[in-house]
Amino acid sequence: MRRCIAAFAWVLLPGLAAAQPSIEARRFALVVGVNDGGTSRVRLRYAASDAKEFARVLEQLGGVADDDMTLVLDADRARILSRLEQLGRRLAEARAAVRRLEVVFYYSGHSDEEGLLVRGERISYAELRSRFDALAADLQVAIFDSCASGAMTRPKGGTTRPPFLLDSSSSLKGHAFLTSSAADEVAQESDRIGGSFFTHYLLSAMRGAADSSRSGRVTLNDAYAFTFQETLARTQHTTGGAQHPSYDIQLQGAGDLVLTDLRSTSAGLVISKDVVGRIYVRDEDDHLVVELHKARGNEIELGLARGPYRIIVEEGHSVSETQVALEDGRRAFLDPAALHQVPHEFAMARGDLPDEPSVPRVFRSVPAVFSIVPSAAVGVGSGGGWVSDDTTNGFALNLTVGRGGALNGLELSVLGTVRRGDVRGAQLALGGNYTEGAQRGFALGSVFNLVGRDFKGFQLTGAANWVTGKMAGVQSAVGLNYAGGPAGGVQVATGANLLAGTLHGVQIAVGYNSASDTGGVQIAAAANRARTVEGVQVSIAANVAEDVSGVQLSLVNVGRRVSGLQLGLVNVADSSSASVGLLNFISDGILDAGGEFSEVGASAVARLGGRRVYTILSLGSSNEHASGVPVLKVGFSGTLLAGLGLGLHAQVGSWSVDTEVLARRLYNTDAEGRHVLATARVALGVPLAGNLRLVFGPSFNAFFDLDNKFPHFGYGWTISTHGYHIKLWPGAFAGIRF
């Protein structure tokens, strides 16, 4: 898949600082990724994931606090502009306390010569510029990773350079427009790197690949020398043609232009000056985090998060690798002694399987082969004679274990099959099937099916299906299914489904599902895990993810950033816009308690949820009793009101406006039955001191007394039908929350 990628940025003149600022500098970021450009545009695969990675690096190394980061995925025009307005309000609130305010805006998706294209709508460059001009920030940086925005620099005669950020010590003023390709160039997404070429190498540079001087900071010149050369080198021989990052820049003043500060990360990897070659750093999900070419004699430090990593070094025809575990507060060192050599793997395109088998050498054709043991095989047809690993067969019948090169047909074996080349057809064995190359077709083994590269078709086994590359089709196993690359099909297992790449399909397991990223559906009885969720996770026990723009449905849902929906008994997240459950623990969300009075009695109320949606727990009492007769009880006199509710939160300046719906049951030992009090209300919150708020507002109540146990409860109008009563009345409430 290809897409046009371009980027531009501008920096406005600093505004007047507050008279007595208490904070030297503060940086806000709004990061947007939209795969859908409209019906006339091919849907992108990596715009959203590029945005997530950019946001992650800004938080780890770019000086953006978690509370100051806003990540918006697959949004429409209205939502993006709404987030810009919210950013403006936050900047205005922070203005008095900060000497210098900085804003970083990043967009990844479709655009044309006139503006951004999001889900069939356009946001013009002129409109964006006017909205950025209105922000109360001293420094503004905008980076656009999208089609045709290279036209922004053409009238100003830009030359080649990549985008950048500004550090808080810089006194530079002016503006800069930057693009990742010329206005008339095409750039591509890459399945190999799992993103756009430009953003991939920009992020590698920001993590320290461009810091050849070991200053601990990545500057504009560092980024130019790295990102420009890598982007150009990696696109020169693609079908889309070479990309030439360009820019038009007019800056005045002193100071340096810094992308990231590597010293701000909790862990790091120092690569020895004696390590030489192209270096690939992959995380525990096999996601390519950093890629760079390193020459001998210079030491490089990479800023990374804590966790395990696999490092691969290619030098000439040699490939070496090692594993490292990074810990907080420590730097790990990589030198040649830690690397061990691994055999070269025959490479295959990351696209669809080829129409003809792709094999590393020419095979001798033997149309049919019959064998008792691998060393006693007889070929029939044009090749004839003994059969070995350099043959390709159309039909094979093996009484024990079959062995050969490529297969273009059908193979039947009692114990198993071993193929050293690609397979196009069907393999059936009572034992297992092993293929070193790619496979397209059908594999049935009672114990295992193993494919050394990409697979397209159907795998069915009792123990395990294992594909080391890309999988497109169906894997079905009693035990385990594994794919080492992206999957575009279905994995069904009693035990577990494991996917090292992105899921664009369905995982169904009684036990456990795991995927690097998912745009499909995970269904499990036990648990689901993914780094990013753009689709749906459904399980009985738990769902775990880092970024959620889709849906999590389980008893326990855990996410880091949730811009979609969590629906469960317990929801946990660092940041969430919509978590609905009995207990919601959101770090930047709503967590308060208080007491309130209304016409039906007093209640204690707790609210748990995200910034917009929250759950209400209510427990109170009323003096109403069954049949209207007061009853004296030890420890409690009256009727207990207990129930749950759901609320929507909005902030209007320092005031809050909440729309809430509650359902409460009435409990009394002499009045068992069916009776529910439903309340809809609007709660206005006024700040008093610190976190203390006065809350009040109107309500409307409906009491359903289906057993006629509480005839005197409530006020207003009574509707009697089929022997039970419904009472309706308007009301009001007031209380304190803290």
Number of other CB atoms surrounding residue 497 within 10 Å: 30
Residues 456 and 469 sit within 8 Å (Cβ to Cβ): no
> Which residues make beta-bridge pairs with 340?
321
Residues in the chain: 738
Q: What is the pLDDT of residues 682-717, one digit of tens each?
A: 999 999 988 899 999 999 999 988 777 777 787 888
SS3 state at 339: coil
| Residue 378 tokens, joined | 């007889």
SS3 state at 156: helix
Residues 662 and 644 sit within 8 Å (Cβ to Cβ): yes
Residue 40, judged by CB atoms within 10 A of its CB (0-12, 13-18, 19+), counts as exposed
d(CA 65, CA 80): 21
| Residue 179 tokens, joined | 């693009």
Number of other CB atoms surrounding residue 729 within 10 Å: 16
Closest CA to 65 of 103, 96, 26: 26
The DSSP-derived string for 185-227 is ---BEETTTTEEHHHHHHHHIIIIIT-TT--SEEEHHHHIIII
Closest CA to 298 of 238, 212, 379: 212
User: Which fold does the domain 590-737 belong to in CATH?
Assistant: Porin (2.40.160)
SS3 track for 5-52: CCCCCCCCCCCCCCCCCCEEEEEEEEEEECCCCCCCCCCCCCHHHHHH
Residues 699 and 679 sit within 8 Å (Cβ to Cβ): yes
Give residue 493's pLDDT: 95
C-alpha torsion 702→703→707→710, nearest 10: -150
Give residue 401's pLDDT: 87
d(CA 305, CA 235): 29
Give residue 536's pLDDT: 94
SS3 state at 449: strand
Phi-psi region of 267 (alpha: psi -120 to 50; beta: other; left: phi over 0): beta
Tokens 């509480």 sit on residue: 710
Q: Where are the domains of the chain?
A: 23-262, 267-342, 365-529, 590-737
User: What dotted CATH number matches 23-262?
Assistant: 3.40.50.1460
Residues 200 and 187 sit within 8 Å (Cβ to Cβ): no
Give residue 147's pLDDT: 65
d(CA 211, CA 176): 22
Non-local CB neighbours of 705 within 8 Å, separated by 6+ positions: 675, 711, 713, 724, 725, 726, 727
CATH superfamily of 267-342: Carboxypeptidase-like, regulatory domain (2.60.40.1120)
Cα-based distances in Å from 563 to 358, 529, 657: 43, 17, 21
d(CA 313, CA 272): 12
Tokens 């317990």 sit on residue: 570
- Longest C-alpha distance within the chain, in Å? 102
Regions of the chain where pLDDT drops below 50: 1-20, 151, 153-169, 173-176, 251-252, 344-362, 382-385, 625-637, 671
Cα-based distances in Å from 45 to 19, 281, 552: 48, 22, 21
Give residue 286's pLDDT: 77
SS3 state at 735: strand
Give residue 174's pLDDT: 44
Number of other CB atoms surrounding residue 616 within 10 Å: 20
Q: What is the pLDDT of residues 377-401, one digit of tens each?
A: 666 654 444 555 667 788 888 888 8
Question: Terminus-to-terminus CA distance in the chain, angstroms?
Answer: 52
Non-local CB neighbours of 632 within 8 Å, separated by 6+ positions: none
> Which residues make beta-bridge pairs with 30?
70, 105
> Which residues make beta-bridge pairs with 719?
726
The DSSP-derived string for 303-315 is EE-SEEEEEEEEE
> Which residues make beta-bridge pairs with 619?
604, 642
Closest CA to 360 of 347, 351, 350, 349: 347
Backbone angles phi and psi of 125, in degrees to 5: -65, -35
